[in-house]
Structure 1
Amino acid sequence: MADDHVGVEPKFSLEHQVEGVSPEQMPQLEAQQLAASPTAPDLQTVTGEEEHEEHDESNGSTHGASSSSVGLSIDSDDSDATSSLGDVNVASSSVSATSSVFEFVEKYGRTFHRYKDGKYYLPNDEQEQSRLDLQHALASRLLEGNLYLAPVNRPSRVLDIGTGTGIWAIEFAEKHPESEVLGTDLSPIQPGYVPPNCHFEIDDAEDDWVYSYKFDYIHGRYICPFLADIPKLLGMIYDNLNPGGYVEIMETLMLMKAVDDSLKDHPLQTWNTMMVEGIRKIGKDPLSAVHLKKWMEEAGFVNVTEKKFSVPANPWAKGSEQKIRGMMMMNNLLEVAQGITTKIFTEVHGWSREEVEVFLVDIRAGLKDRKLHGYVPVLCVWGQKPLPT
């Protein structure tokens, strides 16, 4: 990577709860509405071990898929809405940097990274760190307790790009004491007390890589919407892997679809549309992960595999596991809504902060409404650098 790697020496603290966000009580004002919905290539969806082809007659709209096509069934019985969820609170690690070099930028009542200010358009404060750890917990459920799906075997050197709070890198290092694990990120928000075979550096994964050694496994999660040139990054990953090594990227698409017409003309559809449009205007694509398989193959990787999931946007689906996943996704969306919406809607769409806050009242209410049968696509793609012939 760039030759300005900076080691992290933060203080360590713990947070033990991920809390939902209550709707604010505010006067209702008129918010701008858009009827269009974001489009993306049709997705095949894997739920559990079965693969289903998704037939979306609405050309990628948020209300085109049937419930059977994504493996989710609507639960019309509210009696078990909460009892089957169990305890979905998630322990999380959060940190604060001590050096003035890593002072954060304060905007909209949140903090953002200062290094390459603006490249990552989400906050980096404790609220966001808890959300990142919640995402990690949800990913673990989708992967049935695993940290990865690629068939890696005792990798010597492992790189986790966009490591966030470092929770994935730390858990990998604990489970693989034979591996040296490096996590890189734009924000110094990783804990200081970590396994001896794990360390962190401040770095931009899109800078030129200048490592003096190669890796056996390179991992990334929830990074694609913040990258300007994913094919270039995959090329650098390929060049920095040992032959036979693997790359794996897991991504949540910034796309809310539905198994019926319940999202049609709803503010959640407007929110999704404007978010996608706004992020594209700043040169990023929140739906770019749908091309990962193709881009990996074009970069030269072999044995490229893609697995897809459909995660309920709240606990509307049948089955205790789907309800837990839905509750976790709902909390994830509730936590992320304020920070990203304020930044994109004010800086790109020109809304006032007051207009955004009023709009968010409807968004939060919609995210909690079990009559809305939305789901969020998640995918995991991995590939191998060929062995010498």
Structure 2
Amino acid sequence: MTSVYNTDDDDEEDHAMALDHLPTMTPAAKGQHDHPLDLAVDSTADHDPEDDVMQDVIEADDPCEEEEEDDDDTDLQSIYTHTHAAAAAQNYPPVARTYRTETPYLTTESLAGNSDLAASTRSLWAQDLDYREIHDRLYCREWFMPIDEIEQLRLSLNHQVFLHVLHGEHTTVKLDNPQHILDVGTGTGEWAIKMAETFPDCEVVGTDIAAVAETSSVPMNVFFEIEDAEEWDRSPDLYDLIHLRTMMGAFRDWRYIYECAYYSLKPGGWIELQDFDATESEMRFAQQFSPDSAIHRLFEDLEIAADRSGRRRGPAYLDPHLFMDAGFVDVRVTEYQIPISVAEKSAGKIWLISCLDSLEAGCLRLLTEQMGWDPDECKIACESVAREMAELAKDPAKSEGLVVKAVVIVARKPEDAPESTGPPPQMRDRSRSASLSTGS
């Protein structure tokens, strides 16, 4: 079953929400990273139970209703204070200690006057993490994407794109009084914070391999924990929703991740993936460039480098059959067609800015470590390609028909699923993970 809708409009008022909450890049960050573009920049069909997989295609050219919230950056801020752990402990049933690691995203100074709070929640601090500065970008462990301020801004741009295409909603899953939500790879934590505010009686946990940037206030029912999802240690049969967003290349074995999510979802619970599939647009972009353009070598070497690292690029992990293999039912795939554009306050422009920023972010560590590129050569090539892509996007004739797909996949754990027993699934042999991650 396929439905086609529009979600992008020329009316600036309809799209004010898409840019209202864009974070401001600091002067230091601006100086390091001049941008080729100026930064001023569900409708779903009824589910057919006879379909194993449902697929909607939505074109981003329709009026979208603004999110019902004030215009004072409420999407990035909260009325709740940081020191909420004690009160939260009284309101939210604790997860079994076996499956939980308390990891507060607070500074040592902020806890200096509260030794009881520090003692009850401390298990891992930022200084204990494996942070590495590589070629002037900050990384954590083996993750090939940086975790610095510039990258946090890019992740916030992605957040705005999904707000736009989902009509101001944060999830496509209809939740009825959820008790536990898990956000895997929480990044900036924006999604987790908003879900906690939307469902104040629900415990929302955001996990990542690196600490979330310090936030002045968060709801009392949201918790951020440092955790590698490839070492899954979550309770069985607990979560109403497990959410992952823009995680391409994050894992060696996506089958393992889906099996773990199934294990930890309660019967009737949902998994949701939100991501971009720009494969077709990348190919069409590349065809517009001259044979001697740096884009060709850059993209070719990037694919090889990702394969060598064991974390392949590409949309293979979005294959709905991987969800069914893990035991999920009611698998639904929705594609939102976003025209690549430089029009003011359009989802296409916000995505394009994020895409251009992602060139250096996604290439630098992979190409230098896996392909032997010189760091300066890599940065120059990324900047050159970014400027070429920006110029192409500004050309109406060459950019006509170029779109990026925002893909949302949801799947449900059956209501009659047997109780999950024993420990979580185990990661397969790492030597086989690269092939398994693509479903082959």
Q: Establish whether TM, by shorter chain, passes 0.5.
A: yes
5+ unaligned residues in a row in structure 1: which ranges?
1-13, 24-43, 50-70, 73-88
Instruction: Evaluate the alpha carbon distance shift between residue 383 and residue 271 of structure 1 in structure 2; reply closer, same or farther with a 3 A threshold.
Output: same
Q: Does 1:385 align with 2:407?
A: no
Aligned with residue 236 of structure 1, among 257, 260, 283: 260
The alpha-carbon deviation at position 199 of structure 1 amounts to 0.5
The alpha-carbon deviation at position 139 of structure 1 amounts to 1.1
The alpha-carbon deviation at position 288 of structure 1 amounts to 3.9
Q: Does 1:16 align with 2:24?
A: yes
Residue in 2 that maps onto 1:128: 151
Q: Does 1:298 align with 2:306?
A: no
Q: Distance in 2 between matches of 1:275 and 1:153?
A: 43
> Structure 1, residues 210-253: CA drift from partner, whole Å, max 9, x if none?
42661111111012311111111111111111111100011123
Q: Distance in 1 between matches of 2:317 and 2:252?
A: 15
Residue in 1 that maps onto 2:238: 214
* Matched ranges for 1:251-330 at <5 A: 251-253=275-277, 255=279, 256-258=282-284, 262-263=288-289, 265=291, 267-289=294-316, 291-315=318-342, 324-330=346-352
- In structure 1, give the amino acid aligned to 2:405: P
Q: Distance in 2 between matches of 1:156 and 1:225?
A: 30
Residue in 2 that maps onto 1:35: none
The alpha-carbon deviation at position 352 of structure 1 amounts to 1.0
Mean Cα deviation higher: 287-296 or 199-208? 287-296
- In structure 2, give the amino acid aligned to 1:125: D
| Matched residue SS, 1:224 | coil
Residue in 2 that maps onto 1:10: none
Largest Rg, 1 or 2: 2
Aligned with residue 225 of structure 2, among 176, 201, 220: 201
Aligned with residue 350 of structure 1, among 372, 382, 389: 372
Q: Which has the higher contact order (CA 8 A, sep 6+)?
A: 1
Maintained 8 Å contact 1:258/1:375: no
Q: Distance in 2 between matches of 1:15 and 1:259?
A: 28
Q: Distance in 1 between matches of 2:163 and 2:34?
A: 23
Maintained 8 Å contact 2:170/2:195: yes
Aligned with residue 170 of structure 1, among 187, 193, 201: 193
Q: Does 1:46 align with 2:57?
A: yes
Q: Distance in 1 between matches of 2:255 and 2:56?
A: 24
- In structure 1, give the amino acid aligned to 2:252: A
Residue in 2 that maps onto 1:340: 362
Maintained 8 Å contact 1:150/1:383: no
TM-score between both structures, scaled by the size of structure 1: 0.71
- In structure 1, give the amino acid aligned to 2:259: G
Q: Does 1:186 align with 2:209?
A: yes
The alpha-carbon deviation at position 190 of structure 1 amounts to 4.1
Maintained 8 Å contact 2:59/2:337: no
Q: Give the count of matched residue pairs.
A: 310
5+ unaligned residues in a row in structure 2: which ranges?
1-21, 37-54, 63-72, 78-104, 109-124, 418-440
The Cα RMSD (Å) is 3.2
- In structure 1, give the amino acid aligned to 2:370: V
The alpha-carbon deviation at position 15 of structure 1 amounts to 5.1
Maintained 8 Å contact 1:159/1:183: yes
Instruction: Evaluate the alpha carbon distance shift between residue 268 and residue 144 of structure 1 in structure 2; reply closer, same or farther with a 3 A threshold.
Output: farther
- In structure 2, give the amino acid aligned to 1:230: W
Instruction: Evaluate the alpha carbon distance shift between residue 197 and residue 91 of structure 1 in structure 2; reply closer, same or farther with a 3 A threshold.
Output: closer
- In structure 1, give the amino acid aligned to 2:271: V
| Matched residue SS, 2:269 | strand
Maintained 8 Å contact 1:224/1:289: no
> Structure 1, residues 8-29: CA drift from partner, whole Å, max 9, x if none?
xxxxxx9534967346xxxxxx
Q: Does 1:365 align with 2:387?
A: yes
- In structure 2, give the amino acid aligned to 1:104: Y
Q: Distance in 1 between matches of 2:319 and 2:173?
A: 15
- In structure 2, give the amino acid aligned to 1:127: I
Instruction: Evaluate the alpha carbon distance shift between residue 312 and residue 90 of structure 1 in structure 2; reply closer, same or farther with a 3 A threshold.
Output: farther
Instruction: Evaluate the alpha carbon distance shift between residue 358 and residue 384 of structure 1 in structure 2; reply closer, same or farther with a 3 A threshold.
Output: same
Residue in 2 that maps onto 1:58: none
Maintained 8 Å contact 1:15/1:91: no
Q: Distance in 2 between matches of 1:350 and 1:156?
A: 48
> Structure 1, residues 275-334: CA drift from partner, whole Å, max 9, x if none?
22221221112214454311111111111000112334442xxxx58x712211121022
Q: Distance in 2 between matches of 1:314 and 1:257?
A: 17
The alpha-carbon deviation at position 260 of structure 1 amounts to 10
Q: Distance in 2 between matches of 1:15 and 1:362?
A: 25
Of Structure 1 and Structure 2, the greater strand share is in 1
Q: Distance in 1 between matches of 2:149 and 2:74?
A: 14
- In structure 1, give the amino acid aligned to 2:409: V
Maintained 8 Å contact 1:21/1:334: no
Residue in 2 that maps onto 1:151: 174
Maintained 8 Å contact 1:278/1:348: yes
Maintained 8 Å contact 1:92/1:133: no
TM-score between both structures, scaled by the size of structure 2: 0.63
Instruction: Evaluate the alpha carbon distance shift between residue 382 and residue 267 of structure 1 in structure 2; reply closer, same or farther with a 3 A threshold.
Output: same
| Matched residue SS, 1:310 | strand
Residue in 2 that maps onto 1:79: none
